[in-house]
Amino acid sequence: MVSAVPTRRQKMKITVLGSGTCASDLTGIPDRFPPGFWVEWSDGRMLFDMGEGIRFRLAQIGVKYPEVEYIAVTHAHADHYTLPHFLQSVFCHGIFGGIKAKEIHLFVPNQIAETWPALFKIYVPEAPAPDTHAYEDSYLWPELDFHKMSGGQTARIGSAILRSESVYHGLGRCDAISFRLEADGKVFAYSGDTGDCEGIRKIARGADLFVSEASAPIGGFESSKRYGHLTPFEAGAIAKDGGVGKLVLTHYPGMNTDKEMAEDVKQSGFSGEVKVAKDFDVFEL
């Protein structure tokens, strides 16, 4: 069990920090950052995915990013995972801004935890050891606590339960997971990047809010199945079969309009509320 920071919230709150994809300034989707979601509940708060620039979004909603203690990362693709950049920002904030970094608990696929020492050494070659301890007395990095979550794991964070399932992405070669957070009697489910598979169906089942990627275009079933993404229809089918309360589509590449995507979801038989996410959207459960 990991202790969480009390937030004294009465409802679970999800803030969309990044609803876009790996490319910026695409037609029809300006001002969308890569994936990032800030989730708060009665006695904790957590960042889900940390795409490029997400620390700027945290600052824009009033969160001091050096104080982030809990991060869940779905996979190692750079639009979801920029840990070296984030840590350097935290480190420099300590030098220039005076905020001492806290220990960071990371809930990640096994691949990320196992490759981190080598990656850190590449980004910080002057460090004597492949960890984030001080390499000089005046240069302090936050300590990292990695929790391997591949293959279906559970972790308790304060009163909340975080669950993971392995999912299909990157031609099946990517160690990718989806997350489910249960807190305050509510369930938040987040797909990360995935095709339709057993893992994502387990994660979505019974969720009050299912934030699902929909980066495959309408009708793009073959490419979604091969590479591991979802069309709006597929996201809707998963939500319908799982009894989801509300479906939020994200990882939006702009190939279809919001209206077209919502209609494609309805064609799947899902009758709940559907929304295409935009940065800074807020959902309360």
Domains of the chain: 13-284 (3.60.15.10)
Distance of alpha carbon 33 from alpha carbon 85, whole angstroms: 15
At 89, phi and psi to the nearest 5? -65, -40
Distance of alpha carbon 222 from alpha carbon 230, whole angstroms: 10
CA angle (152, 153, 159) in 5-degree steps: 135
| Nearest one of 146, 86, 155 to 117, comparing CA atoms | 146
Report how many helices (DSSP H) and strands (DSSP E) the chain contains, helices first: 7, 14
| Nearest one of 251, 229, 242 to 270, comparing CA atoms | 242
pLDDT per residue rounded down to tens, the chain (285 residues): 565 555 566 799 999 999 999 988 777 778 899 999 999 999 999 999 999 999 999 999 999 988 899 999 999 999 999 999 999 888 888 878 877 778 999 999 999 999 999 998 898 887 655 454 545 534 567 889 999 999 889 999 999 999 999 999 999 999 999 999 999 999 999 999 999 999 999 999 999 999 999 999 999 998 788 999 999 999 999 999 999 999 999 998 889 999 999 999 999 999 999 999 999 999 999
Distance of alpha carbon 25 from alpha carbon 8, whole angstroms: 37
| Nearest one of 262, 186, 215, 178 to 19, comparing CA atoms | 215
